[in-house]
Amino acid sequence: MTEWEKRIKEKKVVVGVLGLGYVGLPLVREFTSAGLKVTGFDIDEKKVRTLNSGRSIIKHVPHSQVRAMIKSGLFKATTDMSLIRKVDAVLICVPTPLTANREPDMQFIVKSSETIAKNLRRGQLIVLESTTYPGTTREVVIPILENSGLKAGKDFYLGFSPEREDPGNKNFTTRTIPKVVGGLTKTCKDMACSLYGAAIAKIVPVSSLEVAEATKILENVYRCINIAMVNELKIVFERMGIDVWEVIKAASTKPFGFNPFYPGPGLGGHCIPIDPFYLTWKARQYGMATRFIELAGEINTNMPHYVIAKTIEALNERKKSLKGAKVLVLGLAYKKDIDDLRESPSIELIELLRQKGAKVDYNDPYIPRTHKQRQHDLKMVSKRLTAKMLRSYDAVLISTDHSAYDYKWIVKNARLVVDSRNATANVRSGRNKIVKA
């Protein structure tokens, strides 16, 4: 440990980040800002070329920051996995999606572990950051890494530190969000804490790998359940003629015992729609049924269907069928002011509209065109907003409430606005055109 800490202090430790997406790239930024050299690993050759040219691939890490990292000589991206041998630590930042049956899809963690095992050397620190069920690091990662002939906790060191990225959050950055760290052994934990401590403001050590894994699951289950509650209340209050948004605003004035959560067209992002199901899957191995979590997941999953039903109802009142109607979806990202469309409810809304015969376009100032995803390939290009263009649609569906949108202007020029985000709350003129969903 003394030698490890000395090398970190002298900026002689080389960090490897495996997976250069929404989790990996911000980590690269923080370690290079701290003066440590970083090698970024990714299987996407186009992404690697883009980064090495000094251009970013995600909105909240600007081009200027990537250029600075490249120019400093502290960062280089590569697809050559054999270079893993030359780094002192490897931070695994790969996706953990669900299968079609809502079970954990571990292929990216498994493949990453296999790749590292082929290049593992004595003394290296390996840390998994991908959100997953408690037990993954011990049960999945260790056996694969030990196929190298090296022993975890003795020949190499192993930790788990859950990512806590929140794209678009202006109050917190990767550096200022406290970092939870667990290790296989005390030495493993201490080494990981020392490494992250060089780049992150506050480190939160925990007693085991499993506690660190469970911490992130708890955070996301908490949000999933509370969002499901307000989504259900939205539907209930709508039947009662009560505006759920006004209710939440009033309840938020209570200075204790209440935290506001907001309804929407469904859950998005890589964490909240997925991670609770990792826990429900693992709980079944212990003979436990997580009914509360599964019910929340069911409510959130059904929200896009509710939004479509409200759209159909609004069109019917205007003597228009959804089949053959022209619908413009505003916002493709899963939340406002970002360019991340992972698990975005907008994707499902577009697919549901298409299935019902609507002619669908979208606009998103941060996503000029769609790209192929694991389960979706919309093959669409963002349409430029003009007054004439808005008037040509039978309905404009607000799915993501980007700050860049002028909602007064949108309502003024649209025939019908279906608002799933309360984005038009401050619009006074043209209220008869607005339907809350």
Residues labelled as active-site residues: 271
Question: What single DSSP character describes residue 91?
Answer: E
With beta carbons less than 8 A apart as the criterion, state whether 117 and 143 touch. no
Question: What single DSSP character describes residue 316?
Answer: H
Strand order in the sheet with 75-78: 75-78, 37-41, 14-18, 89-92, 125-128, 157-160, 179-183, 203-205
SS3 string of 271-293?
CCCCHHHHHHHHHHCCCCCCHHH
Token pair listed for 55: 């251009």
How far is residue 1 from each of residues 8, 122, 141, 154, measured CA to CA in Å? 10, 15, 23, 13
β-bridge pairing 179-183 and 157-160: antiparallel
- Residue in 94, 77, 74, 93 with CA at minimum distance from that of residue 31: 74
Q: How many helical (H) and strand (E) elements, i.e. helices and strands, does the chain have? A: 15, 13
- Residue in 300, 13, 73, 65 with CA at minimum distance from that of residue 173: 65
How far is residue 419 from each of residues 23, 136, 182, 265, 381, measured CA to CA in Å? 31, 40, 43, 9, 22
How far is residue 251 from each of residues 224, 246, 255, 262, 425, measured CA to CA in Å? 19, 9, 9, 12, 17
Half-sphere exposure (CA, 13 Å, Cβ side) for 422? 13
With beta carbons less than 8 A apart as the criterion, state whether 154 and 189 touch. no
Token pair listed for 36: 């440590």
Q: What three-state secondary structure class fits 171?
A: coil
Q: How far apart are CA 302 and CA 295, in angstroms?
A: 11
Q: How far apart are CA 77 and CA 75, in angstroms?
A: 7
